[in-house]
Amino acid sequence: MAIRVLIVEDSLIMRKVIETVLAVDDEITVIGSATNGLIALEMIRKQPPDLVTLDIEMPEMDGLSALTEIRKFNKTLPIIMLSSMTKRGAEQTMKALMQGANDYMEKPSNLTGLEDSIAYLREGLIPKIKALNSKNNSKYYPHKKNQTQELSIFKNPKSDDLNKSIQSICIGVSTGGPMALVELFEFWKTALPVPIFIVQHMPPKFTELLANRLSTLGATKVIEPYDGQTPEPGFAYMAPGGWHMKLISSNGVVKIQLNEEPPVNSCRPSVDILFKSAALVYPSGVLALVLTGMGTDGLNGAKSLVDSGSTVWVQDESTSTIWGMPGSVANAGLAERVVALDLIPKMIQTQLGL
């Protein structure tokens, strides 16, 4: 059965471009379009779609306001925000992700190049729509806190109990990542005694905004590092959008190295790059987390970490927006534990003796 999509966009040209992109895929059907949030709300109430693409800047009711209203009566409808490639667009998109949007995509910057715009959206938007509507991904929102006791922690029977010395924490995350990271950093009211390294699949501007937001939540300062920076305990270092972040050892001192080498797994930054380098710099000393996200970035890096004696945990399916990245690691038998998101921050503290 085709995925039924509602397009909410005030620009006639942009609506037509999106419709053209989606019309060529037999698994997707556009059931209608709306030019502002008020019209979209009425259409969603009358005939709920399977997914909504939601513009941010619109007259009468903008995308952020519409998102807030939609979530009052429909908590699980997948929503992909479409924003302009500007600083304001990035700021508004980040707010949307914090308010319940499932994913986002930047609009083509030059609609005069119609073929390029169509190709850009086809390659980016269609996979997001299908991933958010996969039959294997029926849950879009984390469970309620009071359901925690009903969730079990799967422990890999092939692994030993964790009694290793943790020297760093490495986190790989993509779709649904901002809210997952909020849950971690909001919990930690005391800075952790090891450095944290994060690869979140996001473009420039977005990673800086996310790092700044996470820094306001708890005791951990989250920053985009500079090339050659020496990591310190109690800090978290987020790979800047558009840059790979790897760890190197220079005269026995760990350094952060940034580079613009080709994407890995179509990603830059790439989780594999971080994980593989961490396996060399902190042999047997890494606790790695693979959280919600589309694709398999992090799978090869997780193998390198396990081979070096380090430990990998993954977020469970029920609390993931998309169980692509964590699922690939779990299915490969590389995960020490498969854990509900809200249990992870406390378990990390316990492992660190806090």
Q: Catalytic residue, from 117, 201, 270, 316: name it.
A: 201
Torsion angle of the four alpha carbons 63, 65, 68, 70, in this order, in degrees rounded to the nearest 10: -60
Q: Is 316 an active-site residue?
A: no
Rounded to the nearest 10°, the torsion over CA 225, 353, 173, 299 is 110
User: Out of 174, 270, 308, 320, which one is annotated catalytic?
Assistant: 174
Which residue shows structure tokens 């959206």? 121
Per DSSP, 288 falls in state: E
Half-sphere exposure of 185 toward its Cβ, with a 13 Å CA cutoff?
29
Question: Which amino acid is residue 217, in one-letter code?
Answer: L
Contact 202, 163 (CB under 8 A): no
Active-site pick, 10, 50, 55, 297: 297
Q: Is 143 a catalytic residue?
A: no
Are 242 and 232 in contact, with CB atoms under 8 Å apart?
no
Token pair 């920053």: residue: 223
- Judge contact between 224 and 240, C-beta under 8 A: yes
174 catalytic per annotation: yes
Going by C-alpha positions, the residue among 260, 267, 339, 261 that lies closest to residue 296 is 267
The residues carrying an active-site annotation are 174, 201, 297
